[in-house]
Structure 1
Amino acid sequence: MNFRKVLDSWKYPSILLFGIGISNIGTWIYFLSLNVIVFNMTGSPLAVSALYVIKPLATLFTNLWSGSIIDRVNKKHLMVWLDIIQGTLITCLVFTTNTLWMIYVLVFFINVASSLYDPTSVSYITRLIPIDQRQRFNSLRSLLDSGAFLLGPAITGVLFLIGTPIYAILINALSFYFSAIVTLLMPNVEKSTLNNSPTQNLSLSIIKEDLTAVLNFSRRFIYVMIVYFLFSFFVVMQTAVDSLEVAFSKEVISLTDGEYGFLVSIAGAGILFGSLINAVFTKRLALPLIIGMGSVMVSVGYIIFAFSSNFSTASIGVFVLAFSLSFANTGFYTFYQNNIPVEIIGRIGSVYGFIEALLVIVFTSVFAVGAQLLSIKFIVASGAIFMLLLTGILLLVNLQPSKDKYYTFNENVKGNLT
């Protein structure tokens, strides 16, 4: 393949990656700024914690019906409108910084739009990116995510120095409008298919029909859904353990604020370094190995962190888990895109996203109560051990020689879905 052909094949993926990178940085700016605004208003950690509960609640509200819409409308146009809606709602936050309940309402609807956007973008990306480019694309996206993890807080800090959190919120709103413009430049990958499809209004019967389609697919492709469920449960456990990270660092390891900040920086360096290695060598990395071993090594990092008693050991654990995370995520997203048909990918992601959000709420609550009744160290260590067992099973499932066909594109999944 000559250089010109390579440039042409990566023209639109590069534009899309650029838009994703800007949007991710803006999301970090918004996230940190909103935490500061709410805390300054109330002085209450509980009020800030409520912001973390709103996202999974919005997912629960949205995901059972959103897939039915996503798979039936033009993904490019929907992404543009969702970007505009999020930018507008975030702009409205600037004028409600004196009313806590209005902030919560706006954040809820912002997260509803975000819950719609995520599976829509996955569906669009799966259509846009050729099969042989997906693993490379996902590794580059992971690199951008890690860059945003470092740049977002740094830019937010600068904005706080020269202005107020309000300015940072406005910057984030602009990033969504910018993302909408970038999306408009992208090709309409399903123009002909949707034009030839009959229009269906959303109804209870349509939702029921779609849930049946998801259930039928899950029954037919049990191996795909086992991998999906194991990895999703792994993500749930990460979220539950992460919810106790600050308290564990302060109370068990006795870190100062400065040491904890440095620990977060080490995590950022681990993500960036892992993503860079992943992006450079992605073509040489076997998909089942990076899903399974990447997940196991993330769990090993959590184990080191959970049993650490000082900053040095904790920093090793944090670096290992952050470094390995980009490999696990790249592998899983590529597996997911290759084995879920684009015609149903929105519904699959939405329905199972609903279950994942529900489990996040349950396990995060259980871990929080357990930390109060027992001890933070016991709960974090137990969660890390369980995570290691879970990812060990995932690794064994990934490395079955008889399942190799699932780690290259499988046309067989495009059969009768219902």
Structure 2
Amino acid sequence: MSSISDFNKLWFSFLISSIGDWLYKLALHLIVLAKTGSAYHAATIYGISFIPWIFFSLLGGSIADTFNKKHILFWGNIVSGVLTVLLALFVNQTKLIMWQLYLIVFFLSSIDPLIHPTFQSILPQLTGSAELITANAKIQTVDNTLSILGPLVGGTVIVLFSGTNALWVDAVTFFIAAVFITQISIKTPSRGTLNLRKLIESIKEGANYSFGQKVIFSGSVMFFFTNFALNMFEANFMYYMTRQLKLSVLEASLAMTLAGIGSLVAGFVTPKISRYFSSGRILSVSTMLAGLFTVCLFLTQKTWSVGFVLGLISFFGTINVITYFTLRQRTVPSDILGRVVSVTRMVSYASIPIGSWLSGYLISIGTTMKVIVILAGVIRFLAGAGAWLSPLGKEK
């Protein structure tokens, strides 16, 4: 493994844990639907998984800028693996006690906001500034490829071996990912300790910088509304496909696989278009187009047509992510990057639980998914239009 570059070791670690994440997302959603028959509980579980981003993002940013980055990533994967084992044991019960399940999902989901700023801030140390957009595209390609293969393979595994066994596989992937982290040779020494006073000062410094940088902050506001709209639909995707469109789990997984092709193509396209257009224009236009195609979802009912439209939405959404991550990494000083990542991520993720809960509630009172899809598309389009007029849209 020593002949592999440090970036590729990080990439392999991300790949392995991401494979497990796909199994986790599909399995837990289907387990809750099968045992409760409730779209509300399924959407609530989805929303709860994002609540920790509100509570722990700022702490994660201060941790990233203070302690050894390799150690943070290693222990994050180890703890995630242990908590996934606990989750697998819990869902194997005949009857789910929902508040207990909510609590386990909350703790498991709390690891990501604690280590994501570290993951983002270590990237510039593993690659040069000129290669950052390519590195981000390669990282995103993992998600994109798994968007194609994950639903189909994951759906097949769940059908053949059960959702609980899929969670056991997810646990193993975290432990393997931790092994790859240990092989990274770059030195990321700690910069001291982090008592309460230092933590508060560190968070204030990161928040002041983030709010003061109008371009970066405008992007996080755009993603706040984008994520709200996106998760109004995504939180109930499996319910919509399996209960309202009457598709099988494998057919729904196939639609998600087709959608992933758009994300994969975006990973190759983004570095090329970034040579000709400013980051702000790319972000605002791609967001508006994603909103328009989201509205088009209400016209689709067949597996291939749902997958095709989702593919277009994913294409523009992936361009968003790669472009914004690269803009942030290039413009923010390395000693504060972790905290800026945490602040902007917290802002952009704060809307996800709200959007997930709202869509679950609307379904529970009889609102159709078509209405929810149209509403989500309009909100996303307006987010892009607002970004065009903001400091982000004027960024050169």
TM-score range normalised by the length of the shorter chain = 0.7 to 0.9
Indicate the residue corresponding to 1:331 in structure 2: 323
CA distance in 1: counterparts of 2:172 and 2:14, whole angstroms: 14
Could you tell me whether the CA contact under 8 Å between 1:293 and 1:328 is conserved in 2?
no
> How far apart, CA to CA, are the structure 2 residues paired with 1:364 and 1:45?
11
Distance 1:113 1:219 in 2: 25
Residue 391 of structure 1 is aligned with which of 373, 384, 388? 384
2:69 is aligned to 75
Aligned to 2:96: 100
Match of 1:51 in 2: 45
Match of 2:138 among 132, 137, 140: 140
Cα displacement string for residues 313-340 of structure 1 (whole angstroms, at most 9, x for unaligned residues): 6555323212222222111110111122
TM-superposed deviation, 1:257: 0.8
8 Å Cα contact 1:301-1:316 kept in structure 2: no
Query: Does structure 1 residue 21 correspond to structure 2 residue 18?
Result: no
For 1:55, the aligned partner's letter is S
Cα deviations across residues 231-289 of structure 1 (Å, max 9, x unaligned)?
A: 333223222243355666689xx73415655533331222233334446x467454524
Deviates further, 172-181 or 266-275 = 266-275
CA RMSD of aligned residues (A): 3.0
Cα deviation, 1:110-146, whole Å, max 9, x if unaligned, reads: 1111221222211222332211111001112222111
Q: Distance in 2 between matches of 1:127 and 1:92?
A: 35
Secondary structure at the residue paired with 1:53?
Answer: helix
Match of 2:343 in 1: 351
Check whether the contact 1:136–1:283 (CA below 8 A) recurs between aligned residues: no
Contact 2:207 2:340 (8 Å CA) reproduced? no
Identity over the aligned pairs, expressed in percent?
21
Flag the 1:186–1:297 CA change in 2: closer, same or farther, 3 A.
same
User: Does 2:370 match 1:380?
Assistant: no
Paired residue for 1:274?
266
- For residues 27 and 378 of structure 1, do their structure 2 counterparts lie closer, same or farther at Cα, with a shift above 3 Å needed? closer
**SS of equivalent to 1:257:** coil
Local SS of the residue matching 2:350: helix
Q: Is the 8 A contact 1:68 1:347 kept in 2?
A: yes
- Quote the residue 1:4 is aligned against: none
Match of 1:321 in 2: 313
Matched, 1:62 2:62: no
Residue 408 of structure 1 corresponds to: none
Q: Specify the alignment match of 2:164 in structure 1.
A: 166
Shift of 1:149: 1.9
Contact 2:221–2:347 (CA under 8 A) maintained in structure 1: no
Among 231, 241, 245, the alignment partner of 1:255 is 245
Instruction: Kindly provide the amino acid, as one letter, of the partner of residue 95 in structure 1.
Output: L
Q: Which residues in structure 2 correspond to 1:151-230 (within 5 Å)?
A: 151-160=149-158, 162-191=160-189, 194=190, 197-201=191-195, 203=196, 205-230=197-222
Q: Tell me, yes or no, if the aligned pair for 1:305 and 1:315 is still in contact at 8 Å.
A: no
Q: Which has the larger radius of gyration?
A: 1
User: Which has the larger displacement, 103-112 or 78-87?
Assistant: 103-112
Change (3 A) 1:285 1:55: farther
Structure 2 equivalent of residue 110 of structure 1 = 108
State the alpha-carbon separation in 2 of the partners of residues 344 and 19 from structure 1: 24
Partner deviation per Cα, 1:335-370 (whole Å, 9 max, x = no partner): 111122222222223334333343222344444445
Asked if structure 1 preserves the Cα contact closer than 8 Å seen for 2:43 and 2:356, the reply is: no
Contact 2:151 2:254 in 1 (8 A): no
In structure 1, the gaps of 5 or more residues are 1-7, 405-418
Structure-2 change in CA distance of 1:352 and 1:324 (3 Å):
closer
Structure 2 CA distance for partners of 1:374 and 1:255, relative to 1, 3 Å: closer
Q: Would you say the 8 A contact 1:87–1:176 is kept in 2?
A: yes
Instruction: Name the structure 2 match of 1:131.
Output: 129
Distance of 1:175 and 1:386 partners within structure 2: 36
Distance 1:220 1:163, change over 3 A: closer
Query: Quick check: 2:288–2:385 contact (8 Å CA) kept in 1?
Result: yes
d(CA) in 2 for partners of 1:182 and 1:282?
32
Q: Distance in 1 between matches of 2:8 and 2:212?
A: 35
**Structure 2 unaligned runs (5+)?**
none
Structure 2 counterpart of 1:11: 5
Q: From the superposition, tell whether residues 347 and 250 of structure 1 become closer, same or farther in structure 2 (CA, over 3 Å).
A: same
Count of aligned positions? 384
Q: Take 1:373 and 1:305, find their aligned partners in 2: how far apart are those partners?
A: 19
Match of 1:414 in 2: none
